[in-house]
Amino acid sequence: MSIVAVCTAPGTAAATTTALLLAAMAPPAPTPLVAECDPSGGDIAAWAGLAPEPGWSTAVAAPQPTWSVIERHAQALPNGPRVITASSRPSQARGSITRAATSFASMLAASPEVLAVADCGRVDSIAPAWVGVAQLSLLLVRQAPTAGATVARVDRAIEVLDVLSAACPRVGVVLIGRAPYPPAEVEAALGMALFAMLPEDPAGAALACGGWTIGRGAGRSALAKAATVLARRAIEAVGDVDAGLVSA
């Protein structure tokens, strides 16, 4: 199993919410883990009322990068998966996430008992280090209220796709929302089939990131149901890469 990197192009937000739901709606085995890997800073500790530590800032001080270290430095989300957090301050997050990529990413990528969902945040011209060791990278494209703004987001996504594809053996686009453009038109603009669709569901997103009722109210939302399908497809895709069915 191992690492699924969740990324966005400039102009799109939703990486953290999607990473949380992807891990929460995945089967219990392999063990799902959310890893905050966005060098611009983490949000989950503040959203869930978790302590600033432990997290990457403490894990990277361990002498050896092992799964037991991850277990000790990850925190449990209320009614959700475990998460290894990053500081909300970019100056602190950047250093610990870079060190974690060097020491822990390869270990997680080779761990069949773990499904690590890496929230990599926004990608510009350089692929995040975690993308380079992931078996699958998901690029989120969120439709805007207006056609022109959606076109701009898709244009940015096309450039980011090239960046991700050069670093990761498999890349998929996840489209959020069905308007103003139908999915088929977005696929034509991208020149590739969509990996999955997620609905524009503010209420479901608020439950996942604020109410912490995953498995209760949030588990019945349209967003969570679509995330269940996404999790299943992601696990299948990672398995294909591990089996050598997808070329680098």
Domain residue ranges of the chain, discontinuous segments joined by +:
2-241
Q: Do 38 and 93 touch, CB atoms closer than 8 A?
A: yes
Residue bearing tokens 């998901």: 138
pLDDT band at 246 (very low <50, low <70, confident <90, very high): low
Give the span between the Cα atoms of 110 and 33, in whole angstroms: 14
The per-residue pLDDT for range 119-149, each reduced to its tens digit, is 999 999 999 999 999 999 999 999 999 999 9
How many other CB atoms are there within 10 angstroms of residue 220's CB atom?
Answer: 12
Q: Is the dihedral of CA 93, 95, 101, 107 positive or negative?
A: negative
CA-wise closest residue to 248 among 127, 129, 107, 135: 135
From 72-81, 199-208, 212-221, 227-236, the region with the lowest mean pLDDT: 212-221
Give the span between the Cα atoms of 70 and 162, in whole angstroms: 32
Residues 63-72 as b or e (16 or more Cβ within 10 Å = b): eebeeebbee
From 55-69, 140-154, 219-233, the region with the lowest mean pLDDT: 219-233
Average pLDDT (47-54) is 90
First to last CA, the chain: 16
- As a whole number of Å, the CA-based R_g of the chain is 17
Q: Which is higher by pLDDT, 68 or 239?
A: 68
**What percent of the chain has a predicted confidence (pLDDT) above 70?**
92
What CATH number labels 2-241?
Answer: 3.40.50.300
**What percent of the chain has a predicted confidence (pLDDT) above 90?**
73
What are the strands of the beta sheet with 31-36, ordered from one edge?
Answer: 75-76, 82-84, 31-36, 114-122, 2-8, 136-142, 171-176, 196-198
pLDDT band at 192 (very low <50, low <70, confident <90, very high): very high
Give the span between the Cα atoms of 129 and 153, in whole angstroms: 23
